Structure 1
């Protein structure tokens, strides 16, 4: 009973820390803080694209009142307005389109067409407020001539399976799109564009976030401003601050999970086995190479199960590894909690089959917080008892 209680306590503590980090970068709060810090003129149109699109758009409408607004987000992240059709979320002026992620779907094409139409319709003198967050690459698309939705989906599926990092994936996506890489704003004929972005990429580069859906093209004939309003660094700082309130010593805080999941697992496992007691914080987005027919799971679930193998038998060691958007790959889980007692029969076979999610679910280890209203890559939290 004592061992079980200890595991539950560690899990509760790690979940509390993870939620503190995510709360600090939630879309509505991030945009509200940005508008407080540096106010912008009242926009004539609000467009929001990404997994945090709805809360980001709500923050703008909170500030400016009734303004025409469209939010494009992932299925299940828009309060149930789905199937790629436009709906209203109950706040005056906000229209919502839900679409596919990580693979684009028919909703993605509707969203891309809607964005192009609205940007092109902006009259001279108008101000566009463009809100971008992670996931925009798949959620809104207007393919180049001759490219079909099936082509886009196949290309995306191959990129994901290859283990390519997000910068490489988004560079390829820009080549295939009429709205990415600054092309969306080429259609703008108004006077001013303000871009506020939640970063889900290394280096917080607006040209990479959403494959450059919010990038202002060179030589633009309008005034413009771009700001990053939330990032992995902000989330990790909030985790560290919460750790202090719990009396935990933060032994490490780094955004360095940009390697293969195997390398990341080895690093995390080493800290939890041989490092000093306390909390270890990592951020980023590791890569994983998938077989032709993968099972259930995503990179965070695979990483968590590899960490479980690395700390097997280690008393007082635990980890929570989860995507800050509340999902991990094409699953409803964000990641998983593991400790020194988690590794067990069948785990190795599940890893080999890229089916970590099935094994973790069967053993009660999945972490399923639901959509969070943000997306700043992943958080990996490791706790080692003194």
Structure 2
């Protein structure tokens, strides 16, 4: 992991503020819900969210569905299913069948606590007939490579699924559902998070209590507070990373090179179009390398670009830390091959945190001296 005495603690402060365990604990403390008869946690932050729920409701059955290698430290006695992300696999279908069966089996009068975080779209699936795993995988890979944004992808996922877009809870026969969600989408809509796996059908035949318990805005506010506590002026704090990385990078670079000294903070989730047979990396690594190119030769800038979940695409890096001295002409070929991860790794610029227990999209934290 790159050594940076300022940017890394700021990123950690943002992540800590939206961790699944702390977010759920706060939500259940400030607005208690009925004792649930079942807890279902789905997404990349499912384990952390489940820990807080189990602490509050120690006797409630618990089902966790999360990404491979993301269940370490899960509560004792929990049923755990790990599956693939960002492209689903056979375990995703097994998870979809199991989650659906649990929801359908709940008795009249029962209460369900749903804990939802980003990644649930790939991790939990029950394909609509006549689709199968091969169909879903091919479509998912095509959408990921096309640069489609999360709204386009989730709209397509809902049409292909029997558990998304409120369809899972349409099978619920109980009395009430509480959904606590960590948002990884623009606008923080429960209908979009996890492709609506924790959303209620319209109309719902049960009492529904939906809450967003963590978001990119909360993470950015925590970063800004941490910077202010160190006497670092916050010049920009905005959520604008919602275009292609080739548009986002020069825009950010222009703001940084022309802006005042201090902290410049951006949030969101940009898109990237992949070539055939892409190399190693994800959108954050590619964006970081593009920013490095745009600020080449500038001596007073250092920029962290990372996913708050600790993973960037199909890699074990969250992103990268770059500055004006990093860029070399060979980086252009790496960008063209979508191989930014390999290039940045060879220069010890990758940021690796491991799973963070949350997922509120991405952060760009830039410090200008």
- Which bin holds the TM-score, normalised by the shorter protein? over 0.9
Taking the aligned partners of 1:249 and 1:262, their CA distance within structure 2 comes to 28
C-alpha displacement at 1:12, in angstroms? 2.4
Residue aligned with 2:134, SS: helix
Q: Of 12, 23, 34, which residue of structure 1 is paired with 2:16?
A: 23
Q: CA deviation at 1:20?
A: 0.3
* Residue pair 1:11, 1:320 contacting (<8 A) in 2 also: no
Q: Measured at CA, do residues 195 and 314 of structure 1 come closer, stay the same or move farther in structure 2, by a change above 3 Å? A: same
User: After the TM superposition, which residues 54-65 of structure 1 pair with which residues of structure 2 at under 5 Å, given as runs?
Assistant: 54-65=47-58
Offset, 1:76: 1.1
Is residue 37 of structure 1 aligned with residue 30 of structure 2? Answer: yes
SS at match of 2:320: strand
Q: Shift in Å at residue 272 of structure 1? A: 2.1
Match of 2:271 among 273, 287, 291: 287
- Tell me, yes or no, if the aligned pair for 2:235 and 2:262 is still in contact at 8 Å: yes
Aligned equivalents of 1:13 and 1:149: distance in 2?
45
Cα distance in 2 between the residues matched to 1:95 and 1:9: 36
Which residue among 291, 297, 300 is the counterpart of 2:284?
300
What SS class does the counterpart of residue 319 from structure 1 fall into? Answer: strand
Q: CA deviation at 1:91?
A: 2.4
Alignment partner of 2:308 out of 324, 327, 336:
324
Equivalent pairs counted in the alignment come to 369
Match of 2:66 in 1: 73
**8 Å CA contact 2:306, 2:364 repeated in 1:** yes
Q: Deviations over 1:337-373 (max 9, x none)?
A: 0001010241111011111010000010000000000
Asked whether the 8 Å contact 1:10–1:383 carries over to 2, the reply is no
Corresponding position: 1:359 with 2:343: yes
> How many angstroms apart in 2 are the aligned matches of 1:241 and 1:346?
38
Alignment map for 1:58-137 (pairs within 5 Å): 58-79=51-72, 91-137=75-121
Q: Does 1:244 pair with 2:237?
A: no
> For residues 227-242 of structure 1, what are the structure 2 equivalents within 5 Å?
227-242=211-226
* Deviation (angstroms), 1:108: 0.4
Stretch moving more, 265-274 or 24-33:
265-274
Change over 3 Å in CA distance of 1:146–1:9 after alignment to 2: closer
2:2 touches 2:348 (CA, 8 Å); kept in 1? Answer: no
Check the 8 A contact 2:116/2:179 in 1, yes or no: yes
Offset at residue 64 of structure 1 (A): 1.2
Q: Aligned with 1:71: secondary structure? A: strand
**Contact (CA 8 Å) 1:67, 1:93: kept in 2 or not?**
no
Helix, strand or coil at the partner of 1:202: coil
Distance 1:288 1:226 in 2: 31
Q: Does 1:271 align with 2:264?
A: no
1:10 is displaced (CA, Å) by 8.2
Q: Distance in 2 between matches of 1:279 and 1:10?
A: 18
CA distance in 2, matches of 1:24, 1:383: 20
CA distance in 1, matches of 2:68, 2:178: 26
Q: 1:92 Cα shift?
A: 3.8
Q: Is the 8 A contact 1:233 1:255 kept in 2?
A: yes
Matches for 1:148-167 after TM superposition, within 5 Å: 148-167=132-151
Work out the CA distance in 1 between the residues paired with 2:11 and 2:255. Answer: 19
Q: Find runs of 4+ consecutive structure 1 residues off by over 2 angstroms.
A: 8-12, 89-93
Q: Which of 216-225 and 227-236 deviates more?
A: 216-225
Instruction: Report the counterpart of residue 5 of structure 1 in structure 2.
Output: none
Name the TM-score, length of structure 2 as normaliser. 0.98
Cα distance change of structure 1 residues 9 and 372 upon mapping to structure 2, 3 Å threshold:
closer
Q: Distance in 1 between matches of 2:141 and 2:218?
A: 31
Secondary structure of the residue aligned to 2:187 is: helix
Distance in 2, Cα, partners of 1:17 & 1:127: 39
- Bigger Cα displacement from structure 2, 90-99 vs 257-266: 90-99
RMSD: 1.2
